[in-house]
Amino acid sequence: MSMKVIPLTGSIGASVQGIDLKRPIDPTTFEELHRAFLKHQVLVYRGQDLFEPKDLLEFSKLWGKPVAASSLGNYLPGFPEITHITKVPKETASTEAWHYDSPYTPIPPKISILSALTVPNGGDTMWCNQYQSYDRLSPAMRKMLEGLRVKFVALRLGRMMGADLNSLPTAVHPIVRTHPETGKKVLYVGHPETAQQIEGMTKEESRPLLDFLYAHSTSPDNFYRHMWQVGDVVMWDNRCTMHYAVHDYGEQERVLLRSTMEGEVPA
């Protein structure tokens, strides 16, 4: 069976069929996958068997340098690059909001991959297209945003985890970044607790603009919602998508493996 890439919505996401991720992927096939990834931003592989950390790690290495992703779960023995994500109480689920991964670090990750081991009823994940969010802005708004930078603070994550709020990671990045591989402009914002203030503006001046851009980014016709099945592998481009993990599954078990690839300084 030859590999097929089938769009899942008109704006973001594609299903990849006819490929076994545990088998070696030849350079021609990988190049096709890479083009599909840059085009669709989220790739979904159903019916895979990446239940062992070594298998997920091998696939991940095709896409970059896997790194330890702190605060997301427990590392598996012998595999510091693979995070074991289990059920998180809803009241401490910092990912239940639209967000980029780790924008409050100097070098946010570029790609993340999840492999589903145990799936509850519910527990969907959503991704939104931040190229389209930028393109939908008026020319006047795009011009106004040129050169602006926003201060990101790990406040939401820190508050949920009970961390010392006086020593949270912070970073300043362009509010419009350029994707290093496609060269396209991306709107780079985040949750109000994370994207806190535009450089050179007061918090009072920044907040209405940041709130508008955040709401603008998450229009229902601009995202893909994934209903998980056991064996699913989903990967996304953290440089041009935000995502949202829906916590609607109560006390049911939800277990995934996750890898995260080293990124680039946003520019």
pLDDT exceeds cutoff 60 at 152: yes
First to last CA, the chain: 41
pLDDT: which is higher, 192 or 1: 192
Residue 240's φ and ψ, nearest 5 degrees, are -140, 15
- Give which of 231, 262, 260 is closest to 243, Cα–Cα: 260
Better-scored residue on pLDDT, 90 or 100: 100
Q: What is the largest CA-CA distance in the chain?
A: 58
Which residue did the predictor score with more confidence, 151 or 169? 151
- Select from 76, 119, 131 the least CA-distant residue to 253: 119
Return the CATH number of the domain spanning residue range 4-120+227-237+249-261: 3.60.130.10
Percent of the chain whose predicted confidence (pLDDT) is above 70: 94
**pTM: predicted TM-score of the whole model, two decimal places:** 0.93
45-67 pLDDT per residue, tens: 999 989 999 999 999 999 999 99
Q: Where are the beta strands (DSSP E) in 130-228?
A: 149-153, 170-174, 176-178, 185-187, 195-198, 223-226
With b meaning 16 or more CB within 10 Å and e meaning fewer, what string describes 95-127? bbbbbbbbbbbeebbbbbbbbbbebeeebebbb
Section 96-104 average pLDDT? 92
Average pLDDT over residues 205-215: 96
User: For residue 50, with 0-12 CB atoms within 10 Å meaning exposed, 13-18 middle and 19 or more buried, which class applies?
Assistant: buried
Per-domain residue ranges of the chain: 4-120+227-237+249-261, 129-217
